[in-house]
Amino acid sequence: MGERIVAFQGEHGAYSEEAIHRQFGEDTKTLPCETFAEVFAAIQRGRATHGMVPVENALAGTVFQVYELLIEHDFRVQAEHLLPITHHLLAPEGTALEDVKRVMSHPQALAQCADTLHRRGWEPVATYDTAGAARALAEHPEAHTAVIASALAGRLYGLAALDSGLEDDPGNSTRFFAIGADDAQRRDPSKTSLVFAVRHRPRALYDALGTFALRNINLTKIESRPMRGRAWQYWFYLDFEGHWRDSAAEAALVDLLRQASMVKMLGSYPAALGGPNTGGA
């Protein structure tokens, strides 16, 4: 087997890179990409063997752009990783906390710290990446300016940590998908992710979800999202406990294919322990 190279969106020091190291080990080779689309392109072109992409945050919700890319590409989810997120306020050495007036970071990070930013009167400034904001501020310091990023980014770019735990909820965490060209090797407990659309008729969604309820399969996620280019039509993102090769799951999926207008399997993969659960959707 060749060397594993894992692509991620952002600069070195991004939370996605931290998730890579925790999932695959500290020595794993990583490939920074400017956008999520470039992560998928890197795998497609052979520059990376895998990608690590955020799909959901406990506070800010689903990263829909990643799901749209999963629909467009024929990659498989090979693992999920839950990363507790602790946001740090970083600034060049010598900056005092009381001097901070504006804070730069990725929109997701700003959203996760929205109450803190408002309470302290800091102006949020959106950038394309948390670690990228840290590197930019280290290279070109600005008065009264700090960034929200990881402790790793602070160490990499020589910024001082003025404060930590800026997230509005101490339970803040992000769910990542490790993606690749092949199906994941089975390791239970498993989880399965898919996307489907239903026909425009009464009970369409009820019947689609009923295929799982009838077989006592627990759903851990169900969410709708408008289809691009098709006004008032929707994708449904669904996760369930178990592997698609389980007999009950296979029967449910065959039934779903009859009920839905489209079904795309994203993958069955080892479930992260302590993962998000709706309590039985």
Q: Which of 30, 116, 130, 174 is catalytic?
A: 174
**Active site includes 176?**
yes
Contacts 24+ apart (CB under 8 A), 151-155: 151/86, 151/88, 152/13, 152/17, 152/18, 153/11, 153/13, 153/14, 153/88, 153/90, 154/13, 154/88, 154/90, 155/13
**Active site includes 174?**
yes
Q: Which of 40, 176, 212, 240 is catalytic?
A: 176
Sheet of 190-198, strands arranged across: 219-226, 234-241, 190-198, 260-270
Token pair, residue 209, equals 């979800």
70 touches 64 (CB < 8 A): no
CA distances from 230 to 223, 226, 227 (A): 17, 8, 5
**CB atoms near residue 139 (< 10 Å):** 8
The residue among 194, 4, 180 whose CA lies nearest residue 75 is 180
Q: Which residues are tagged catalytic?
A: 174, 176
